[in-house]
Amino acid sequence: MTPLQIDFGNAERVVGIDLGTTNSLIAFLDATGHPAVIPGADGDKLVPSVVTLTRKGEIVVGNKARAALIDEPDRTVYSIKRLMGRGVADIQEELKLFPFRVAQGSEAVIRVELGERQFTPPEVSAFILRQLKQNAEKFLGETVSKAVITVPAYFNDAQRQATKDAGRIAGLEVLRLVNEPTAAALAYGLDKRRDGIVAVYDLGGGTFDISILKLHDGIFEVLATNGDTHLGGDDIDNRLMQIALEDIHTDWGKDISHYGDAVQTLRRAVIEAKERLSFAPVTNIELNYKGKHYQREITRELFEKLIADIVDRTLGPCRACIQDAGVTPEQIDEVVLVGGSTRIPMVRNAVETLFRAKPHTDLNPDEVVALGAAVQAGILSGAVENQLLLDVTPLSLGIETMGGVVSKLIHRNSTIPASATETFTTAVDGQRNVLIHVLQGEREMVKDNRSLARFDLKEIDPLPAGMARIEVRFLIDANGILNVTARDARTGKEQSVDVKPSYGLTDEQVEAMISESIDRAEEDFNTRQAAEARVEADRILAAVDKAKQNDAYLELSDEERREMARALNELLVVYHGDDHLLIRAKIDQLNNATMKLAENMINTAVTGALKGTKI
Amino acid sequence: MGLLSSNFYDFFGIEHKLNLDLKDLEKRFYSLSRQWHPDKFTLKSAEEQQQALDATAILNDGYRTLRDPLARAEYLLKEHGFDIGEQGAKNVPPELLEEVFELNMALEELRGGDESARGGLEEARNRFVAMREGIDSELQEKFVEYDRAKDRNVLAQIRTILNRRRYVRNLVNEVEKELAGAVA
C-alpha cells in the first residue's frame, strides 16, 4: 500500500547510557558495528546533568536547564548523582558544598525541592534519562526501551539499585548496569588492544574509580577495582570557589555565598578558569554581578597547590588496586584516562609517576564511557559476538554477627555473579523469625560499614532452639546487586524473606513513581508520538521529492499532480503541530495521492529494463 | 540446577587433585564463561536467565576457590568430610608455645609504649614469615604425595599443616598491624 516507504526492520535496539555527575550521554552501535554518541536537538553530544522545573511546571533538562542554574537557582538541580542511594545522614558534607535543597521529612528517603515540587534523586535522574531517550528516539526514528547504564565501579548496592530505579521510572528496561571504567576499557580494547594488562583511571565530575583489567582474546577480565564515590571535578571547583568567595567577601565587604544566582555565575567562571589552566600557565577568574566586578589572576602553580591533596587522594585507591590485582606497576601495559578531570596536567603527571607509564589519551575522555556502554549493549543484544566482560564486586559483603562484628561472606574483587550460602538457626524455643543484617564494606565492625538491608526470615516452623536450619543464599548478580533467597534445609521448602532496604526506595515506592510518571508522561507521550510521526513524514516527503525527478511524474494527469500537491501541502501544514494522529492521517492521504505515481514508476522501470536502457 | 554439577572440580571437568595446571584452569574458566555468562542470555526466557546466573555463580566461586592452593586444599578436605574452620587455628600448635609466649610479652611492651620492643618484634615477624614459607613448601610436598596415592591419611596431615599455617598467618598479621599502628 505504501510503495514509497522504506522498511527499517524491527531488530531490538539496546542503547548505552553514561549517566554522569556533570554530563550524560547516550550512544548506540551504528550499522557498521561502531559505537557512536547521539547528539541532542541542539547538536550537543554532552547533555548537562542539570534539571529545572520551569514556572509553567515543565521539566527541562540539559543545556537549557544549565542556563536556569543562574536565573532560577531554586528551581534547578545539578550533580544529583551525589545523592543517589544515600541517606540524609551521609550527605551532611555534601550539603555544605552543594546547593541541594533537601525537603523536610527526608529521613527515610531524600527529596530535593525544585520550586514547589519535590523529587527523589532517582526521579531527578529519570528526567535526565528520559531526555536522553527522547534524543535517541528522534535521532534513530524508533522507540527506545532497552538500555545499558553505567555506574561508578565503586558504587555500592544502594547506589546501583537507585540507578536501576531511575531507569525504570524513565520507562527504560535496564538490561545491565556496567561499571564506568570497565565500559571505558571495552571501548578502548575494541579500538586499540587485544591482549595485556590495562589500568583505567577515571576521575569524573563527582566520583573516582580505578580498575585493572586483563584483556585476553575478547575477554575483559577485571582483576581489581577501587575508588571513592565522592571525589571528583566538583571538589576541585569547590576549592577555587572557596578562594573566590573569600576574595569577594573582602573586596565587596559582602558574603555572596547565599545568593544562588551569584554562586552559580561564579561557579561557571571558576570551571572555565580551571579548564583554561590545563592549557595555559595563568588565567583570570572574573565575575560581573549586579554592576560589581571581581577579577583575580590564578597561576597553574597556585591551582596545583590548591588541589594537590585531591589528586593525592586518588593515589591510595590506585596502590590498593594494584596490590589487589596481584600485579606490579611494571606489568601494566597501559593506563587509560577517563573523565574530564584527567585533562588536568597535574593529574596526568601523578598517574604517570605512579604507573610508570605514559597515559593513553587518544580517546575522548568525555565520550569513552558512553561508547563502551553501547558496545556492552551490543553484546547483550547479540550484535557483538566475541567480546565478554567479567566484572567484580567492589566491596565485600558480610552479615552482622555477635558483638557487632561483621562476618564476610563475599570478598571484594570477586568476579560477579558471586554467591555464598550460610545456614541460620533459632536462639529460643519456638522462635518464628530470624533477622539478618547485611552490610557492605571492608571494616571489621558493623558501625564502620554500610548497612544494605535487613532480611527477615519469617514463619519459621516452631522448633526447639537451634533445631531450625534455614539456608540463606546471597547472590550478587552481574549488575553488582544483591539477591537473597532462603529455604528450610529440613523440608527443602522455600522460606519467605522480607527485605527492608536501609537506604533507597522500596519496590512499592518505585512502582508508585512509575505510575505517577506515566500520568505526567501523557504529554511527553504525545510529544513523542508527534516526533515519531514527523520522522515518518520526513521519509515520505523525501521520497516524493525524489519521485518528482522521475519521468513517471510527467506521465501523470494535471488532476493527479494537483491532488498530489494538495496532499503534500496539507501534510506540511500539520507537520509542526503536536497532533500525531493528524500528521499520520495526512501521511496516509499523501500516500494514496502518490499511489498512481508509484505504479507508473514501476511500469517505467519495467519498460526501461525491457528496452535495456537506464531510467 | 538440573544437569549442572555444583561441585567445582566436576563443573570445570577436571580431576579432584591438589596440584592443578593453572593455565589450563584459566582456559576452562574463559571458555565456560563464554558459554554461561548472563550477558549471553539477556534476551532469553526467565528460566534460562536464572540457569545462566546459577551456573556463572558456581563457575566464578569455583574459579576463585580452585586457583588458590589453600582454598583449593580446604575445599578438597571438606569434600572428604574433614571439618575445616577457624576453630582449628585457635589452638596453639605445641611446638610454637614458647615462641608465642615471648611474642605476646613483646606485644604488650610495645602497646605499653616501650619502643625498645620494636626490634624484637620485627625479628619475630621475620621469623614467622620464614616459618610460613617453610609450611608452604611442606604443603606442596604433601599435595604431590596426595595426588599420587589419594591417601586419606595424607589429607589428615594436610589439615594439621593448614591449621598451623593459619595460626602463623594470624600471628604475622597481628604483629604487622601492631608495628604499623605504632608508627602512625
Which tens digits make up the pLDDT trace of A247-259? 999 999 888 888 8
Residue whose entry in the numeric block shows the C-alpha cell 550537543: A44
Q: What is the chain B residue with the closest CA to A177? A: B39
Query: Residue A602 — very low, low, confident or very high, per pLDDT cuts 50/70/90?
Result: confident
Listed range (A3-7, A72-76, A251-255, A279-283) with the worst mean pLDDT: A3-7
A81 is catalytic: yes
Q: Tell me: the pLDDT tens digits for A155-194?
A: 999 999 999 999 999 999 999 999 999 999 999 886 677 7
What number is the average pLDDT over the span B82-101? 71
Name the least confident of A291-305, A332-346, A594-608, B146-160.
A594-608
Between residues B23 and A574, the one the model is more confident about: B23
Inspect the interface and report whether the beta carbons of B60 and A414 lie closer than 8 Å. Answer: yes
Residues of A in contact with B56 (CB under 8 A): 417, 478
Going by pLDDT thresholds of 50, 70 and 90, the confidence category of residue A453 is confident
Chain A stretch 172-231, residues whose beta carbon is closer than 8 A to a beta carbon of chain B? 175-176, 216-217, 219
A202 has catalytic annotation = yes
> Computed over its alpha carbons, how large is the radius of gyration of chain B?
21
- A397 vs A615, higher pLDDT: A397
Q: How far apart are CA A404 and CA A400, in angstroms?
A: 6
Report residue A347 as a C-alpha cell.
593529574
Chain B CA closest to residue A147: B42
Which distant-in-sequence residues (6+ apart) come within 8 Å of A125 by Cβ? Answer: A19, A80, A81, A84, A162, A163, A166, A170
Chain B residues in contact with A176 (beta carbon < 8 A): 39, 42
d(CA A180, CA A187): 11
Chain A positions in Cβ-Cβ contact with residue B41 (cut-off 8 Å): none
More confident site: A3 or A454: A454
A100 — pLDDT class (breaks 50, 70, 90): confident
Is the pLDDT reported for residue A523 higher than 90?
A: no
What pLDDT was estimated at residue A411? Answer: 93
**Cβ-contact A154, A84 below 8 angstroms:** no
Q: How far apart are CA A185 and CA A201, in angstroms?
A: 10
Q: CA of B167 to nearest chain A CA: how many angstroms apart?
A: 19
| pLDDT above 60 (res B7) | yes
CA separation for the pair A38, B26 (Å, rounded): 38
pLDDT over threshold 50, residue A349: yes
Predicted local distance difference test score (pLDDT) of residue B95: 75
Beta strands across the sheet bearing A482-488 = A418-424, A470-476, A482-488, A494-495
- Which of A219, A390, A418 is facing B57, going by the closest CB pair? A418
In chain A, what residues touch B38 (CB-CB under 8 Å)? 417, 477-478
Q: Which of B34, B43, B57 sits opposite A417 (nearest CB)?
A: B57
| Average confidence score pLDDT of chain A | 87
pLDDT band at A19 (very low <50, low <70, confident <90, very high): very high
Contacts of A390 in chain B (CB under 8 A): 33, 37
Query: Which residues pair with residue A224 across a beta bridge?
Result: A212
Chain-chain contact of B39 with A418 (C-beta, under 8 angstroms):
no
Cell numbers linked to B126: 621475620
Q: Which long-range contacts (CB under 8 A, 24 or more apart) does A559-564 make?
A: A560/A593, A560/A596, A560/A597, A563/A593, A564/A590, A564/A593, A564/A594, A564/A597
- Output the pLDDT for position B183: 47
Residue bearing cell 539477556:
B42
Residue A475 pLDDT level (bands cut at 50, 70, 90) = very high
Restricting to A residues 460-479, those with a Cβ less than 8 Å away from any Cβ of B are 475, 477-478
The contacts of residue B180 (CB under 8 Å, 6+ apart) are none
User: How far, in Å, CA of A562 to CA of B159, rounded?
Assistant: 95
Residue A3 is predicted with a pLDDT of: 36
As a CATH number, domain B8-67 is 1.10.287.110
Which among A81, A133, A138, A164 is annotated as catalytic? A81
Top residue of A14, A220, A380 to mutate, by most chain B CBs within 10 Å, is A380
Mutation target among A222, A376, A390 for the B interface, most CBs of B within 10 A = A390
Cα A77 from Cα A74, distance rounded (Å): 8
Lowest mean pLDDT among A43-57, A182-196, A497-511, B46-60: A497-511
Confidence of residue B86 (pLDDT cuts 50, 70, 90): low
Confidence of residue A101 (pLDDT cuts 50, 70, 90): confident
C-alpha cell, B81:
568430610
Chain A nearest C-alpha distance from B86 (Å): 12
Full set of structural domains in chain A with CATH? 14-232+308-390 (3.30.420.40), 233-307 (3.90.640.10), 397-504 (2.60.34.10), 509-611 (1.20.1270.10)
What's the pLDDT at B4?
62
> What is the C-alpha separation between A460 and A519, in angstroms, rounded?
41
The three cell numbers of residue A521 are 508522561
Angle at which helix A233-252 crosses helix A260-276, to 10 degrees, equals 120
Residue A604: what pLDDT?
73
Beta-carbon separation of A381 and B43 below 8 A: yes
Q: How confident is the model at residue A5 (pLDDT cuts 50, 70, 90)?
A: very low
Q: Residues of chain A with pLDDT > 70: what percent?
A: 93
pLDDT at A272: 94
Least reliable range by pLDDT among A432-441, A591-600, A605-614: A605-614
Q: Is the pLDDT of residue A11 over 60?
A: no
Looking at residues A80-96, what average pLDDT do you find?
Answer: 86
pLDDT of residue A518: 59
Tell me the per-residue pLDDT of A364-376, one tens digit each, with 9 for 90 and over: 999 999 999 999 9
The three state secondary structure string of chain B is CCCCCCCHHHHHCCCCCCCCCHHHHHHHHHHHHHHHCHHHHCCCCHHHHHHHHHHHHHHHHHHHHHCCHHHHHHHHHHHCCCCCCHHHHCCCCHHHHHHHHHHHHHHHHHHCCCCCHHHHHHHHHHHHHHHHHHHHHHHHHHHHHHHHHCCHHHHHHHHHHHHHHHHHHHHHHHHHHHHHHHHC
Question: Per this entry, what is the length of chain B?
Answer: 184
